[in-house]
Structure 1
Amino acid sequence: MSNKVDYIVVGLGLAGISFCEKLLENNKSFIVFENSSQTSSLVAGGMYNPIILKRFTPAWNGHEQLQYAIPKYQQIENKLNIKIDVKVKTKKAFNTIQDQNNWYLALDKPNTGLYMISEIEKNEIKGIICKNGFGTLIGTGRIQMRAFIHSYKNYLKIENKLVEDDFIYEKLEINESLKYQDLIAEKIVFCEGFGLKKNPFFNYLPLNGTKGETIDIFAPKLAIDFVLKSSIFIMPLGSHTYKIGATFNWKDKTTVPTQEGENELISKLNKVINVPYKIIDHSAGIRPTVIDRRPLVGTHPLHKQLAVLNGLGTRGVMISPTIANSLFNYIEKGIPLEKEISIERFT
């Protein structure tokens, strides 16, 4: 392992991996520090969908982000020789006739027609409790997060670019270049998710983590090959297993699964499906969310060698490649960041 690199990257969730890909594309040397303390990327459903199904509105820059992200994931698949991008339709269960009317109205919004099928599905779907039909989205899917992150870690290990250890902020010496233990680096990028709260350089940023819990179930009589979105989501994982999520808890900042979270998911699930099931897994993580629901991207106001890439929230799969590209271009080429994502909006 070289003791002189262009970049140190701290954290290897979606943000960290996306930034590593930019560094590799541009032949930059780097070392990643990852202590596996933040699990939000691992427990995330990994879904990508540019339509907000609560209001049938386009997600912020969702279409553009998806057009940029999908080829990036395909490149990673080819490099790691692994299948991570699973194309799967999404169906929205309508609770009321008003939902149907809102679906029709939404078809005329910019970009929504690319993903929303105009015809409402009226047929009942075995195992699903829904009397008002379904709306179908195409062009959606999921990234298999556990396999993705596990494979990427192994790839970095083989390339001698991964240190599985805590990054100790107090040991960072900031001069013209950066010195950390026996490493010398030009820049450092913090991609720590909710771990940012402990980062003395960027903990002034308004990151408000939300705990999310999911359960995996085995339901042999439920035979759906699409993601169902109702009061919860039901995501097929194969072999009659499904991921069910997710809770939102703004108070509990631990990554420990709770009985309360499980009870909430079971209560909602029992109103959506009417077939037997067995819980086979239960996970929890802290989503790095920001008050204005936009990412945190930029460099420290005093120490320009220090950068942050964070605040991906619930749409990290779609957003991360785009904002990693924006941060790289800002650091290396001086291309200004969009005001919506720049941390200067909080400084």
Structure 2
Amino acid sequence: MKSVDYIIVGCGLASIAFCETLKTNNKTFVVYDDASQQSSIVAAGLYNPVILKRFSEVWKAKEQLELALPMYAKIEIDLNIKLDYKLKLLRRFNSIEEQNQWLVASDKLTLEPYLSTEFIKNRNPNINTDFDFGEVLHAGRIDTKTLILEYKLSLQENEQLESEHFQYDELKINSDEINYGDYKAKHIVFAEGFGIKKNPFFKELPLNGTKGEVITIKAPDLKIDYAVKSSVFIIPMSDDLYKVGATYEWNDKTNTPTEEGKAELIKKLKIVITCDFKVVEHKAGIRPTVKDRRPLVGRHTTYKNMYVLNGLGTRGVMIAPYVAKKLYNYIENSVVLDKEIDISRFG
């Protein structure tokens, strides 16, 4: 038997953040992943400290960014890859009322660092707007696809990845250790995203799952190097490619892209841009969303060496390092979890 401190199930944003926390603290681990969950790879990877629908602060935005950006910078160095792309993010106003709401929000202490009070005039003939833009400061994009693929490759090279489906019924749980396959561990952490719905230990948690579809378009005439948020987001990539999303579907729980989703995105996109474009890619994934919009972190009620790290919703890039650190300190240092993320809030 190979002995490790942790077995981790899943290899999305939550898992990677927890792996990084373990590495920082010299803990050993192995990751099991069957590549069944797509939401982290499909995600646009935008990090943005403001909820742009209501002009309000993202929960724990400052604390999240202070942990997330250094973590991604470290991974860039460790793996010799580029992940963090700083972006100007512009919110397209739909009315004078929205401009006024923006200015009111920018006076709030928590939002003042993130909302510019100088509106930006539209000078691009291929963008349709009558009411200018507001600029969000300290925004950017993490290339989540590169992150996950390269991180899994690194784990594989270090013999820390088992690319197989996790068989829950083969898990042997003792009071002082976990046994599974060739491994024995002190703890096991399930970070499976929407896959948790098939997990017999945590399937009763109220993780709903929301399907999101994203398209990539080629628009040679658009020529923008900033992201635009309207009823859809438009994020520049390279070579005249732009990622456009996203839809929200609560009933369909498959990773299969739909014609309805594509049509919805195209319809909304055509309200914002006036130039020709071609859809070159169409992806879908199930976001691990929770009814109260807070993560699912904590210990199993019966098995005291079993934990969950899940429910990152639509902002996994920002929130993953924050909740990973919270879980680690809970397990290793007996630091009590915040009630708003502890799974015990659901009884």
Pairwise same-fold verdict (TM > 0.5): yes
What are the residue-to-residue correspondences of 1:39-54 with 2, within 5 Å? Answer: 39-54=38-53
For 1:236, the aligned partner's letter is P
Partners in 1 of 2:241 and 2:121 — Cα distance?
25
Alignment correspondent of 1:295: 295
Alignment correspondent of 1:134: 133
Partners in 2 of 1:208 and 1:126 — Cα distance?
41
Shift of 1:182: 2.4
Shift of 1:122: 2.8
Alignment correspondent of 2:216: 216
Partners in 2 of 1:42 and 1:192 — Cα distance?
13
- Secondary structure of the corresponding residue to residue 220 of structure 2: coil
Partners in 2 of 1:33 and 1:211 — Cα distance?
24
- Secondary structure of the corresponding residue to residue 332 of structure 2: helix
Shift of 1:125: 2.5
For residues 305-342 of structure 1, what are the alpha-carbon distances to aligned partners after superposition, in whole Å with 9 as ceiling and x for unaligned? 11000000011111000100000000001000011100
Runs of 4+ in 1 over 6 A off after TM superposition: none
For residues 257-276 of structure 1, what are the alpha-carbon distances to aligned partners after superposition, in whole Å with 9 as ceiling and x for unaligned? 00010010111111110000
For residues 24-54 of structure 1, what are the alpha-carbon distances to aligned partners after superposition, in whole Å with 9 as ceiling and x for unaligned? 1111111100100000000001010010100
Asked if structure 2 preserves the Cα contact closer than 8 Å seen for 1:173 and 1:179, the reply is yes
For residues 201-250 of structure 1, what are the alpha-carbon distances to aligned partners after superposition, in whole Å with 9 as ceiling and x for unaligned? 00110000000000000000001111100000000011110000000000
Alignment correspondent of 1:227: 227
What are the residue-to-residue correspondences of 1:185-196 with 2, within 5 Å? Answer: 185-196=185-196
Asked if structure 2 preserves the Cα contact closer than 8 Å seen for 1:124 and 1:130, the reply is no
What are the residue-to-residue correspondences of 1:308-319 with 2, within 5 Å? Answer: 308-319=308-319
For 1:83, the aligned partner's letter is K
For residues 256-295 of structure 1, what are the alpha-carbon distances to aligned partners after superposition, in whole Å with 9 as ceiling and x for unaligned? 0000100101111111100000110000000000000000
- 1:114 pairs with 2:118: no
When the two structures are aligned, how many residues end up with a matched partner? 346
What are the residue-to-residue correspondences of 1:44-83 with 2, within 5 Å? Answer: 44-83=43-82
Partners in 1 of 2:253 and 2:323 — Cα distance?
26
In structure 2, runs of 5+ residues without a counterpart are none
For 2:81, the aligned partner's letter is I
Alignment correspondent of 1:180: 180
Shift of 1:120: 1.0
Partners in 1 of 2:120 and 2:87 — Cα distance?
17
Alignment correspondent of 2:16: 17
Partners in 2 of 1:126 and 1:19 — Cα distance?
45
Partners in 2 of 1:122 and 1:28 — Cα distance?
51
Shift of 1:71: 0.7
Alignment correspondent of 1:154: 153
Asked if structure 1 preserves the Cα contact closer than 8 Å seen for 2:122 and 2:129, the reply is no
What are the residue-to-residue correspondences of 1:276-295 with 2, within 5 Å? Answer: 276-295=276-295
For residues 151-210 of structure 1, what are the alpha-carbon distances to aligned partners after superposition, in whole Å with 9 as ceiling and x for unaligned? 101110111000000000000011121111221111000000000000000011000000
How high is the sequence identity, in percent, across the aligned residues? 52
Partners in 2 of 1:185 and 1:123 — Cα distance?
57
Partners in 1 of 2:124 and 2:104 — Cα distance?
24
For 2:306, the aligned partner's letter is L
Asked if structure 2 preserves the Cα contact closer than 8 Å seen for 1:57 and 1:109, the reply is no
In structure 1, runs of 5+ residues without a counterpart are none
Alignment correspondent of 1:241: 241
- Secondary structure of the corresponding residue to residue 112 of structure 1: coil
For 2:53, the aligned partner's letter is K
Q: CA RMSD in A?
A: 0.8
For 2:121, the aligned partner's letter is K
Shift of 1:129: 0.8
- Secondary structure of the corresponding residue to residue 207 of structure 2: coil
- Secondary structure of the corresponding residue to residue 271 of structure 1: helix
For 1:235, the aligned partner's letter is I
Range with bigger deviation, 161-170 or 21-30: 21-30
For 1:106, the aligned partner's letter is A
